[in-house]
A and B are shown apart, each in its own frame.
Chain A
Amino acid sequence: GAVVSQHPSWVICKSGTSVKIECRSLDFQATTMFWYRQFPKQSLMLMATSNEGSKATYEQGVEKDKFLINHASLTLSTLTVTSAHPEDSSFYICSARDPSGDTNEQFFGPGTRLTVL
């Protein structure tokens, strides 16, 4: 199946700093990528849909200015958590859909665990 990578796997930062997370589709081109957040013992929460070459579509309640998404190429989307605070500590997961596939399966990256001190 298709492979999606994420970098970094984990990051610890001080409150007030910004953190960038990269999501790459390694063997396919993804016009659409998705960013999720998952708090402990909770389900995935879709934050935004990232579209190559256009602005991301954010879910209700997700601050656009705080979670900056850039999808500059067909294989790379980035999520920047600006002015991070301890409540932003979470597991961030990206996924991508392979448009050449038979299903609408989303392939997930391994996730990035963010801890804000």
Chain B
Amino acid sequence: GQNIDQPTEMTATEGAIVQINCTYQTSGFNGLFWYQQHAGEAPTFLSYNVLDGLEEKGRFSSFLSRSKGYSYLLLKELQMKDSASYLCAVTDSNYQLIWGAGTKLIIKP
């Protein structure tokens, strides 16, 4: 079956760095997405990785290793507004998005 694993919840301090991991087992791979979702709102796009390596976009970076079925989202200089759920999603061979359950990130002052 298809499966995406990410931690349920993480806590970090304002100004610090946090890494949210995601491992996946899917039938085929056509890219991995990270989305941010604030409570009561729809997800918003953060990053997309289809090749191995690190993609940096401001305070957020995303890494992919296809051979290991592994990705992480790195958030630097954490701000209180970064408190949200972070969703990992993989596009399989049928170009269908398979979603992880999300990681709730709590930022403390």
State the A residues within 8 Å of B (CB): 1, 34, 42-44, 46, 49, 91, 93, 103-111, 113
With contacts defined as CB atoms under 8 Å apart, how many contacts are there between chain A and chain B in the complex? 42
Contact between chains at A111 and B42 (CB < 8 Å): yes
Note all chain B residues with C-beta closer than 8 A to A108.
42-44
On whether the beta carbons of B45 and A1 are closer than 8 Å, the reply is: yes
- Asked whether, in the complex, the Cβ of A42 is within 8 Å of the Cβ of B101, the reply is yes
With contacts A104-B30, A104-B31, A105-B33 known, is A111 near B99, CB below 8 A? no
Q: Are A43 and B42 in contact (CB under 8 A)?
A: no
What A residues does B30 contact at CB under 8 A? 104
Q: How many residues of chain B are within 8 Å of chain A by beta carbon?
A: 20
Which of A1, A43, A103, A107 is in CB contact (< 8 Å) with B99?
A43
A104 and B99 contact, CB distance less than 8 A:
no
* B101 CB, min distance to chain A CBs, angstroms: 4
In-complex Cβ contact of B50 among A43, A49, A103, A110 (8 A): A103
- Give the nearest-CB partner of A57 in chain B: B96
Chain A residue with Cβ nearest B49: A103
Shortest distance between the CB of A99 and any CB in chain B (Å) = 11
